[in-house]
Amino acid sequence: MNMNEQRQIDGWFGEFGGRYVPETLVAALDQLADAWAEARSDPDFERGFRDLLRHYVGRATPLTYAPRLTEHAGGASIWLKREDLAHTGAHKINNTIGQALLTRRMGKQRVIAETGAGQHGVATATACARFGLDCEVYMGAEDVRRQSLNVFRMKLLGAKVNVVEDGSRTLKDATNAAMRDWMESVDHTHYIIGSVVGPHPFPSLVRSFQSVIGRETREQCMEVLGRLPDRIVACVGGGSNAAGIFTEFIDDPEVALVGIEAGGRGESSGDHASTLVHGEPGVLHGSRSIVLQDHDGQTADVHSCSAGLDYPGVGPEHAHWHTSGRVEYRGVSDERAIEAFCLLSELEGCIPALETAHAIAGAVDDAATMDPDQHLVINLSGRGDKDAEEARRLLGDLD
Ligand SMILES: *Cc1c(COP(=O)(O)O)cnc(C)c1O
């Protein structure tokens, strides 16, 4: 058994993880953990999942050399792992397809999900359409207003969107509402969590479905470079795209791993979403991790220009990698992310998601300090078509 497998079994990553849930959910989490353990030892499940990744999601996604960004940074060669080319335009589909397969395996017909900007909602609705599952997505009223096109997409895909009017009416409140639904519907409903967060087994389950990113990257680097990359940079919201690419390299100390969080508009509480940079240990949404909170343990408000990074928590495994020092985490501000959004568009012809743009800014800083014979991989977690409207609002019409 390797270290990854051990980590998946007990649900703890050092002092982080676990299950902080009402008793009514424990049986469902056990059922999910058992179904997943069974599925993993069933070659048919693995074959079915890989087949869908290939023929439905469009994997493997390419590893693309970025010559002009490399020249701009003036150091290491920069490569892009193209999750923007996966079906629905981001990495999230890897997880929702995997969990939809598990839903069927558990004999459940109804799926619920939470969504912030709507990306996970769309990816969940897509997987449910493909498998004929009933789908309801919880979304805060504020996000519904900001992301009305994604609400329409989910409806087109056959999902019902439940508007949440509680609290700040954003992702955190949508997650609470989805948890409440699950407590009452757990015998016939599966909750597809969208990142490496939540109670065990979700963090390891989601990471496992996303680890295809890292496996492909490793193979592609061996094929093209004949060796492993020197550094990998990914953005971190809940942490699923980062965990998906990092996990395959975690036992290779020669590969530096860097997670970039949302630095927002400043360092004060409420102005950013840099959970690992500024947070403290605490419990949020069913697991112990590092959380942005006030002195009473109340979850802090967060801000980021990118809705997918705008979350006051982070996956427990990232909290562990942070504490152990295996992964370096830094923040990148809204302003620099928007600059990087333009930079990749102009230099490489790829319009990145605003989330991803944070990783690009961080990677350019790092590449500049590296040697020309070194190689840096950016996980290009998603495409930016969804953000074009918001970018236009921030940048004006560019003429
Ligand atoms: C949702 C999203 C993220 C943030 O989520 P993680 O779980 O941290 O990966 C990053 N990039 C894109 C394109 C997203 O849609």
Right CATH for 14-53+91-206 from 3.40.50.1100, 3.40.50.150, 3.30.70.890, 3.40.1210.10: 3.40.50.1100
Q: Taking residues 297-311, what's their average pLDDT? A: 90
395 class by beta-carbon count within 10 Å (0-12 exposed, 13-18 middle, 19+ buried): exposed
Q: Note the pLDDT of residue 3.
A: 47
Right CATH for 58-89+211-398 from 3.40.50.150, 3.30.70.20, 3.40.50.1100, 3.30.465.10: 3.40.50.1100
Alpha carbon distance 237, 63 (integer Å):
22
Cβ–Cβ under 8 Å, residues 343 and 336: no
Q: Note the pLDDT of residue 170.
A: 86
For this structure, is 335 an active site residue?
Answer: no
Distance 392 CA to ligand 1 centre (A): 21
Indicate if the pLDDT at residue 10 is higher than 80: no
Identical fold for domains 14-53+91-206 and 58-89+211-398, yes or no, is yes
Query: Ligand 1: residues within 6 Å at CB?
Result: 90, 92, 119, 195, 235-242, 308-309, 353, 355-356, 381-382
Catalytic residue among 289, 381, 386, 390: 381
* pLDDT tens digits along 340-367: 999 999 999 999 999 999 999 999 999 9
Question: Who contacts 114 (Cβ-Cβ below 8 Å, separation ≥6)?
Answer: 120, 121, 137, 138, 139, 171, 174, 175, 177, 178, 193, 194
Distance 241 CA to ligand 1 centre (A): 6
Indicate if the pLDDT at residue 130 is higher than 60: yes
Closest residue by CA, ligand 1 atom 13: 382
Which among 126, 195, 232, 305 is the best mutation to test ligand 1's pocket, defined by most ligand atoms within 8 Å of the CB?
A: 195
Determine the distance from the C-alpha atom of residue 111 to the mean position of all C-alpha atoms in its chain, rounded to a whole number: 19
Q: Looking at ligand 1, which atom is closest to the CA of residue 241?
A: 9
Q: Which two tokens stand for residue 115?
A: 């969504």
* pLDDT tens digits along 227-266: 999 999 999 999 999 999 999 999 999 999 999 999 999 9
Q: Taking residues 361-383, what's their average pLDDT? A: 98
Indicate if the pLDDT at residue 189 is higher than 50: yes
Q: Note the pLDDT of residue 9.
A: 54
Look up residue 104 and give its amino acid.
R
Q: Note the pLDDT of residue 6.
A: 46
The domain locations on the chain are: 14-53+91-206, 58-89+211-398
| Cα-Cα-Cα-Cα dihedral sign, residues 282, 172, 380, 146 | negative
* pLDDT tens digits along 312-344: 999 999 999 999 999 999 999 999 999 999 999
* pLDDT tens digits along 138-176: 999 988 988 889 999 999 999 999 999 998 888 889 999
DSSP string, 126-157: HHHHHHT-EEEEEEEHHHHHHTHHHHHHHHHT
Q: Note the pLDDT of residue 373.
A: 98
Cβ–Cβ under 8 Å, residues 211 and 29: no
Q: Note the pLDDT of residue 94.
A: 98
This prediction has a pTM of: 0.96
Alpha carbon distance 245, 124 (integer Å):
21
